[in-house]
């Protein structure tokens, strides 16, 4: 077989590898590798000459992962090296003419890593101070991993919900001016909720302020209700042939996921992908609207 003896772009390959690992459910490895980079090193030796064998006219390839120093001990194991030899070998097209012979994890001295521990690292530090027996019973590793996974889910939902709030505010203020709220059709239950939450903020100074706009005192589903009850000023921003159900159905689905998160329930991978998908769809729809 004739080979090109050229290698894929290192940055694109690394990003593709992270996406592949994420899809396959290797969230822990993705977290350890994030922010790092990858480099290829041609061994200059025919693959077949290695002890592990290989194609007679392919070259042996070394792959180096330049990673966050906080995670190098977790990554640099024989099991991981074997795993990445297999996974990277499957992702490099055979036409290039390279067989992976070694994986190396090294500290990325060029990485701009925050010297302060993130929340997950801080949690691990606290865990290490306690007895293993107590932690295994009350806060096992799988629960900590789910906590990190859920933080990503929350981040997406946070962005979606506040994007929607700012969109509603922009549309309303463009139509009615800065004092738009009294001109909107909003049911009594929503208005009462705003009043009670404002009062709670005033009485409990330790609670962070939600913001000056009344919209920041409403939940996801109530934002959908505002769009639905004031459709005349919102309809031009959404597909004309699908009506208000195009956006309302998505908000209802997202609201259900929000309720799970609010009650500390676990959100599965399908729901997480739905969050990402809906956010991208909604952003694309609103792009260029203003």
Tens digit of pLDDT per residue, the chain (290 long)? 688 888 889 999 999 999 999 888 888 899 889 889 999 999 988 888 888 888 888 999 999 999 988 888 889 999 999 999 999 999 998 889 999 999 999 988 777 665 544 555 665 655 555 555 555 655 566 666 766 677 778 888 888 888 888 899 999 999 988 888 888 888 888 888 888 877 776 665 544 545 567 888 888 888 889 999 999 999 999 998 888 999 999 998 888 888 887 777 777 888 888 888 888 888 888 887 76
**How much helix, strand and coil, in percent to the nearest 5, is found in the chain?**
60, 10, 30
Q: Phi/psi class of residue 185: alpha, beta or left (left: φ > 0; alpha: ψ in -120 to 50)?
A: beta
Residue 127 has a pLDDT of 55
pLDDT score for 117: 47
Task: Check residue 207 and give its pLDDT.
Answer: 47
Joined together, the tokens standing for residue 21 give: 């690992």
Provide the whole-model pTM: 0.54
Residues 163-188: b if buried by 16+ CB within 10 A, e if exposed: ebbebbbebbeeeeeeebbeebebee
């Amino acid at each position: 077989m004739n080979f090109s003896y050229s290698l894929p772009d290192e940055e694109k390959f690394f990003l593709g590898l992270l996406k592949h690992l994420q899809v396959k459910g290797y969230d822990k490895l993705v977290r350890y590798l994030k922010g790092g980079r990858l480099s290829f090193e041609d061994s200059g030796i025919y693959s077949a000459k290695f002890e592990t064998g290989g194609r007679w006219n392919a070259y042996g390839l070394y792959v180096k992962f330049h990673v966050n120093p906080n995670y190098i001990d977790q990554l640099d194991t024989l099991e991981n090296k074997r795993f990445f030899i297999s996974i990277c070998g499957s992702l490099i097209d055979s036409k290039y003419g390279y067989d992976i012979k070694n994986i190396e994890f090294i500290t990325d001295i060029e990485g701009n890593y925050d010297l302060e521990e993130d929340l997950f690292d801080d949690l691990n530090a606290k865990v290490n101070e306690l007895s293993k027996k107590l932690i295994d019973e009350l806060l096992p590793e799988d629960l900590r991993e789910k906590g990190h996974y859920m933080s990503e889910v929350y981040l997406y939902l946070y962005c979606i919900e506040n994007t929607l709030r700012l969109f509603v505010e922009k549309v309303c203020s463009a139509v009615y001016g800065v004092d738009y709220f009294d001109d909107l059709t909003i049911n009594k239950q929503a208005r009462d909720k705003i009043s009670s939450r404002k009062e709670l903020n005033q009485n409990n100074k330790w609670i962070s302020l939600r913001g000056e706009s009344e919209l920041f005192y409403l939940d996801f589903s109530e934002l959908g209700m505002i769009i639905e009850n004031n459709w005349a000023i919102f309809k031009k921003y959404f597909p004309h042939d699908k009506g208000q159900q195009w956006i309302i159905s998505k908000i209802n689905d997202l609201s259900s996921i929000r309720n799970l998160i609010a009650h500390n329930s676990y959100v599965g991978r399908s729901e997480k992908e739905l969050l990402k998908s809906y956010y991208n769809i909604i952003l694309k729809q609103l792009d260029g609207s203003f």
